[in-house]
C-alpha cells in the first residue's frame, strides 16, 4: 500500500483571493518515490492537526516564506518578510502531533526550520546580519536546478548514509536554524558553520535538510534517495 504523505501547502495572494498550492516538483518527487501526496491547506483551527495526523502516514514540510519569529520568542527584525501566522501555527501543530504520534517526518529548507521550531529550537531570522561566521552565498543566483555549495555531513549519521558526507547542494534561503532543540542532532553544516542537516537523536523518525532536493532529484540520484528513504520510513510505521 502506498503511504499517504501530508504536505502543508504554501499560500499565495492572487486577484481572486488566496491560493493554496504545492510545487509540482514536490508532488512528483513523492510519487516517484512511491508515496501519494496529500495537500494540506493551512487552517486557523489547530485542533484539526490530530485528525490530519491520524489519517496520513508521514509528513513532509517544504520550502516557503519566512517563519514568524514570535513563535520562537523573538520580535521581527527588518530583514524578515512574507510571514503567515496562520500557516506557521498550523504547521507547528501538525509537526508536534506527528512527532508525538511517531509518524515519519521529512523537511527541507523552511520545512527543516519548522521542525526545529516545533521541537524547541530557534532560528536566525536573517543569516547575513545575525551570524558573523556566515560567508557562503546561501541564496544562489544560479537556477535552483543546479547545486551551488557543499555540505559537511557527520560520518555515521542517517543523512550521511543517504547522501554521503560531502553532498553538493543548491541553496535558496536567508533564515537558518540557530538552536536545534533537545530532540534533534545537528549532523550537517555548510563550510561557514550554517546548519544544513538535522535528525532524530534516538531513531530515524525525523530528517531535515536545508537545501531543495525536489529540484535536484531528476539529475542527482543521491537526492532521489532522500525521498525514497522517507517513504521507506513511512512504511515502517504504517
Among all residues, which ones are annotated catalytic?
109, 212, 214
CA torsion, points 127, 131, 133, 138, in degrees to nearest 10?
0
**Which grid cell is 77?**
527584525
10 contacts 57 by C-beta, under 8 angstroms: no
Burial letters 95-104, b for 16+ CB under 10 A, else e: bbbbbeeebb
In terms of Cβ atoms closer than 10 Å to its own Cβ (0-12, 13-18, 19+), residue 43 is middle
Which H helix or E strand runs over 189?
Answer: strand 184-189
Amino acid at each position: 500500500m502506498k503511504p499517504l504523505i501530508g504536505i502543508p501547502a504554501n499560500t499565495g495572494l492572487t486577484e481572486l483571493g488566496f491560493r493554496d498550492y504545492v510545487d509540482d516538483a514536490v508532488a512528483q518527487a513523492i510519487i516517484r518515490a512511491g508515496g501519494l501526496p496529500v495537500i494540506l491547506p493551512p487552517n486557523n483551527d489547530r485542533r484539526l492537526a490530530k485528525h490530519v495526523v491520524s489519517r496520513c502516514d508521514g509528513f513532509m514540510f517544504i520550502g516557503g516564506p519566512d517563519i514568524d519569529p514570535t513563535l520562537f520568542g523573538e520580535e521581527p527584525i527588518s530583514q524578515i518578510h512574507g510571514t503567515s501566522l496562520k500557516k506557521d501555527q498550523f504547521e507547528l501543530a501538525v509537526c508536534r502531533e506527528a512527532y508525538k504520534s511517531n509518524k515519519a517526518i521529512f523537511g527541507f529548507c523552511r520545512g527543516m526550520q519548522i521542525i526545529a521550531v516545533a521541537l524547541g529550537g530557534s532560528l536566525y531570522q536573517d543569516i547575513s546580519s545575525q551570524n558573523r561566521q556566515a560567508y557562503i552565498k546561501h541564496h544562489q543566483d544560479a537556477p535552483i536546478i543546479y547545486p551551488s555549495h557543499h555540505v559537511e555531513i557527520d560520518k555515521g549519521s542517517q543523512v550521511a548514509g543517504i547522501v554521503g558526507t560531502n553532498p553538493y547542494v543548491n541553496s535558496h534561503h536567508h533564515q537558518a536554524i540557530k538552536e536545534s532543540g533537545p530532540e534533534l542532532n545537528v549532523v550537517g553544516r555548510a563550510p561557514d558553520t550554517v546548519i544544513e542537516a538535522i535528525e532524530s537523536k534516538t531513531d530515524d523518525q525525523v530528517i531535515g535538510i536545508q537545501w531543495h532536493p525536489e529540484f535536484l532529484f531528476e539529475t542527482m540520484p543521491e537526492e532521489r534517495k532522500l525521498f525514497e528513504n522517507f517513504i521507506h520510513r513511512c512504511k515502517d510505521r504504517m
